[in-house]
Amino acid sequence: MLSRLKRDLTMADVAREPGGDRLDLLLVADMVRHGAKVLDVGCGDGELLRILSERRGVDGRGIELSREGVNECVAKGLAVIQGDADTDLADYPDDAFDYVILSQTLQATRDPREVLRQMLRVGKRAIVSFPNFAHWQVRLRLVFGGRMPETPSLPYKWYDTPNIHLCSIDDFRALCRDMGVKPEFEVCALGDLWLIDDLCQKGLVDDPIMMTIFFGRPGGTWSPPTPEEFLHRTKHLPKGSHAMAS
């Protein structure tokens, strides 16, 4: 039970930068402006709040369902209270935060649609991240393994998982359309860049490395063709690679 709890709070198997910070959380932090007022919903052990404080200088608050997570956050000096995303967001006033963040938690909520609605009410902007159940690794394990897949972002057995509303990226896009919500920014392919970077570090890919960045590609990521978006994408390219846009 203790080992499972630690995995719940830290997601120890996901990709991390050399300094130890989770790469998915660094991507979330990149979307937050300096000095913003932030609410992290389902903040776990507080790693994202710490990153936001250190790198973005935010005024951060958090709510976390597990008492163990709350205790760990408080021990780190973070402003976190015990609360449930499904019920307690309703207690916050309108536009109380610049950003409300739900990181790797949407699939564990009882009513994802209502949670998203409350996030958009409480925050001027909402940032949501979740494991993509249509990722190629998940599809391959279902097709060739015939069992519910286990991945770094979905590390549980089918019978003890807290994830009750798994979805794909297209499922989430459809929910946003149904709610009249238009994403301002979307990132869903950088895991492939981390894979390429790892291959480069191991000397398995020869120079030069040529990359193509697609904007607004049908069936792919919705991304505005802006200088800011291009700079964000190229920031995460493997060192020494060359990129073109399409």
pTM above 0.75, yes or no: no
- Cα–Cα distance measured from residue 141 to residue 145, given in angstroms and rounded to the nearest whole number: 5
- Cα–Cα distance measured from residue 177 to residue 113, given in angstroms and rounded to the nearest whole number: 12
Quick one: pLDDT at residue 185?
A: 72
- Cα–Cα distance measured from residue 158 to residue 147, given in angstroms and rounded to the nearest whole number: 9
- Cα–Cα distance measured from residue 48 to residue 73, given in angstroms and rounded to the nearest whole number: 11
| Pair of tokens at residue 123 | 């925050």
Are 20 and 31 spatial neighbours (Cβ–Cβ below 8 Å)? no
Residues constituting the chain: 246
Strands of the sheet containing 59-64, edge to edge, are 80-82, 59-64, 37-41, 97-103, 123-129
Quick one: pLDDT at residue 219?
A: 45
Mean pLDDT of 88-114: 96
Mean pLDDT of 176-190: 79
User: Could you read off the pLDDT of 46-87 as tens digits, one per residue?
Assistant: 999 999 999 999 999 999 999 999 999 999 999 999 999 999
Mean pLDDT of 148-169: 86
Strand-pair partners of 59: 37
Say whether 37 sits in a helix, a strand or coil.
strand
Amino acid identity, position 77: G
H/E element holding 101? strand 97-103
Are 115 and 143 spatial neighbours (Cβ–Cβ below 8 Å)? no
Amino acid identity, position 78: L
Res. 172: pLDDT tops 80: yes
Mean pLDDT of 171-188: 86
User: Could you read off the pLDDT of 22-57 as tens digits, one per residue?
Assistant: 878 888 888 899 999 999 999 999 999 999 999 999
Share of the chain above pLDDT 90, in %: 45
Q: How many CB atoms lie within 10 A of CB 219?
A: 5
Res. 122: pLDDT tops 90: yes
Dihedrals phi, psi of 9, to nearest 5 degrees: -80, -30
- Cα–Cα distance measured from residue 174 to residue 85, given in angstroms and rounded to the nearest whole number: 21
